[in-house]
Amino acid sequence: MTRPENRARRNVTSVNRARAIENRDRAVGNPRIRKWSMCRSQLTFGLILLWFLPGCGPQKAAPAQKTAPAKIEHPNEGDAYRVVLTAKAEERLQISTAPVELKAVPRTRTLGGIIALPDGASVFVTAPVVGMLLSNGEVTPLPGQLVTAGQTVFQLRPLLSPEREVPTAAERVAMANARASLITSQITADGDVMQAAAQVEAATIALDRAKRLLADKAGSARDVDDALARLDIATKGLEAAQARKSLLDKLTLEANEGTIENIPVHAPRDGMLRTVSASVGQTVSVAAPLFEVVDLKTLWVRVPVYPGQRNEFVTSSNALVRALGHSSTEVSVKPVSAPPSADPLAATVDLFYELPNADGRFRPGERVEVVLPVKGETEALAIPRAAVLRDIHGVAWVYVNSAEHTFERHRVEVHFTTKETAVLSHGPEVGTPVVVDGAAELFGTEFGAGK
């Protein structure tokens, strides 16, 4: 055999001899081999156990715990609701407070009122003579249409001359009636002019007397204003009577000369067409109603009160008018001199106030709330109006700053409000700080509406 073959045989023999010795030791229970085997098994089990133990394997870092900016507390039904804020949240909301004050406020009473048209606000326009209505060349007049003073609403063709050379019997009768109506209208117009001139003269005398009494400190500025208003009404009436007389004089002259032109029927004032009683193509008689113009820029408020309580109200001071369902919208109205009226069935007498209505918010016949001033003053709790919050049931609440960063919600009863102040019937004690700026944010935080 060659030398490499001998070397390979010796290696195999050595390996077989080592395996035989190891097997023999295991069979006889060699302590050294048994100890090494047990250590190897324990080491393998420990490595597996350490891998599955929590904290020993790879884990994600726990997120940092956040602090809520607000906390709502309501331990039991008898306690008030509390909102506890962090310093940073309170600074972000920019919360400001104001103390509850005890103020002397005027006494008031809320009653129901009715919107009414003032005297002279509605003007009826009638036909000056017998004739046929024609279109004004623009649009057909309809109720609710706005018109301006001097705007032509209709054209009127007088029936004072026949339409043919030989008039029929009916035409002769119509012309005779028209001429008789024209003469009657002329006489009436002359009387209206003289009557209106007398009213202007009387109103001028009353105005001079009121001014002298005011200069002597025996009258009031209100009497002067009323006298000015009466003089203005009388002057307008005189101008209308003179215009009517001039129209009739011109019509008579044209009828005598045989050259009759169409008569434009103008709107006497700015306003709205309330009613239209005639239409284009209709033949109307003298003094037949054509349309009505109503001025809605200034209305009256009629307030019925019990006669036994009339002396309790300050009838010379302004009142407040609120539309039903819109208590936040208030309009100041001033008392006005009006013809006395009363209702015997309801046992009431009427107070009248002048209501500006340039925006057309109120309508004649509408019912409103009227806050009348009562004689004397009383002390009541007052807070800023912005501090009052209302829930879905209409209940009023305020937030009281009871401790540092702590706000409690308390129920209040609002007697009445002005533009900046809310007068309370019941509420926190005097000096208690209530939240003004930030109250709505606290309300949303408590009920889950805030962010």
Taking only the tens of pLDDT, the chain with its 451 residues reads 555 555 556 655 665 665 666 666 555 555 555 555 566 556 665 666 555 555 544 555 555 555 566 666 555 544 557 788 888 887 888 888 899 998 887 788 889 999 999 988 888 888 877 778 888 777 788 888 899 988 889 988 776 554 444 455 555 555 556 665 666 666 777 778 888 888 888 888 888 888 888 888 877 888 888 888 888 888 888 887 777 777 666 665 555 554 567 778 888 888 999 999 988 888 887 778 899 999 999 999 999 999 998 898 998 899 999 888 776 678 999 999 888 899 999 999 999 999 999 888 899 999 999 999 888 777 889 999 889 988 888 889 999 988 888 888 889 998 877 778 888 888 898 989 999 988 888 888 777 654 4
CB atoms within 10 A of CB 238: 20
CA gap 90, 72 in Å, rounded: 14
Q: Is 226 helix (H, G, I), strand (E, B) or coil?
A: helix
Q: What's residue 77's pLDDT?
A: 47
Contacts of 108 (CB under 8 A, 6+ apart): 371, 372, 373, 374, 416
| Residues β-bridged to residue 382 | 101, 423
Q: What's residue 37's pLDDT?
A: 58
One DSSP character per residue, 182-223 reads HHHHHHHHHHHHHHHHHHHHHHHHHHHHHHHHHHTTSS-HHH
Q: What's residue 67's pLDDT?
A: 59
CA gap 229, 226 in Å, rounded: 5
Report the candidate in 371, 392, 286 with the shortest Cα–Cα distance to residue 327.
371
Predicted structure pTM score: 0.51
CATH superfamily of 107-117+297-376: Efflux pump adaptor protein, beta barrel domain (2.40.30.170)
Q: What's residue 347's pLDDT?
A: 93
CA gap 11, 90 in Å, rounded: 89
Which token pair is 343? 């209702």
Return phi, psi of residue 397, to 5°: -135, 155
Strands 146-147 and 81-85: unpaired
Radius of gyration of the chain (CA): 49
Q: What's residue 226's pLDDT?
A: 84
Return phi, psi of residue 254, to 5°: -65, -35
Domain 72-105+378-447, CATH class in plain words: mainly beta
CB atoms within 10 A of CB 354: 17
CA angle 385, 389, 391 (to 5 degrees): 150
Q: Is 317 helix (H, G, I), strand (E, B) or coil?
A: coil
Going 35 to 40 to 43 to 49, the CA torsion angle's sign is negative
Give the CB-side neighbour count of residue 174, counting CA atoms within 13 A. 18
The amino acid at residue 231 is: L
Indicate the domain borders of the chain. Answer: 3-39, 72-105+378-447, 107-117+297-376, 122-292
- Give how far Cα 341 sits from Cα of 303, 352, 451, Å: 11, 10, 58
Contacts of 201 (CB under 8 A, 6+ apart): none
